Amino acid sequence: MAIAQIEHLIRYVTNAEGETTDVLVSIELWQQLMNTINSDPVSGLAWIDEQEPKAQILADLQESMRLATTGETFPVSKFWEYTTV
């Protein structure tokens, strides 16, 4: 997201002396900025996912495969509980 695209969406807060002290942005813009900051541009993964130890990723995949081969399934709502931690 280029600065030129969002300049008109930014509002500045000034103190009594007229000095700029803070910036206000809409929730929508804030969420877009956070998604941009918190994800890897190459993989698209969130920063926290990039930091997860490879051993844990492998263990999670192995457990998922074990559950899948036994036919154990979960409702989608359960999936979102795990992905939004």
pTM for this prediction: 0.41
For residues 14 and 21, the answer to whether their CB atoms sit within 8 Å is yes
CB burial of 22-60 (b: ≥16 within 10 Å; e: otherwise) equals eeeeeeeeeeeeeeeeebeeeeeeeeeeeeeeeeeeeee
pLDDT tens string for the chain (85 positions)?
A: 566 778 888 899 999 999 999 999 999 888 888 777 767 766 666 666 667 788 888 888 898 888 888 887 777 776 666 555 4
Distance CA 42, CA 3 (A): 21
Which pLDDT belongs to residue 33? 81
